[in-house]
Structure 1
């Protein structure tokens, strides 16, 4: 008997769906001025988030605005 997955809207609210539904991860290396990196790192620490999360969010917002033009 094979396992079947539930639709995400049927998953219990106490299950961390974002941890269960993960994409494969690829690494991106970019060169930025150290002053910019310090600003990013400070902003991430103040938001209690990782720099990766914040950069992904910023790029997603940018792409959404570009695609909606």
Structure 2
């Protein structure tokens, strides 16, 4: 499965920021949690609506973004 299908952009959700599966979970918030040294397990325990693949999708999104690669994002 292409993890990037989990990242959506909708102008009505979080001001159009890339989010996880149409929920109000911006990619940047997940990256901030990882940057604050939270583990996948800690994030998933604190936020049971998230899945491991959501976190992996955020990392893949960030990687492709900084590499300047195109991003097929669903609305």
Same fold (TM over 0.5): no
Superposition TM-score, scaled by structure 1 size: 0.35
Superposition TM-score, scaled by structure 2 size: 0.33
Larger radius of gyration: 1
Structure number with the bigger relative contact order (C-alpha 8 A, sep ≥ 6) is 2
Structure whose residues are more often strand by fraction = 2
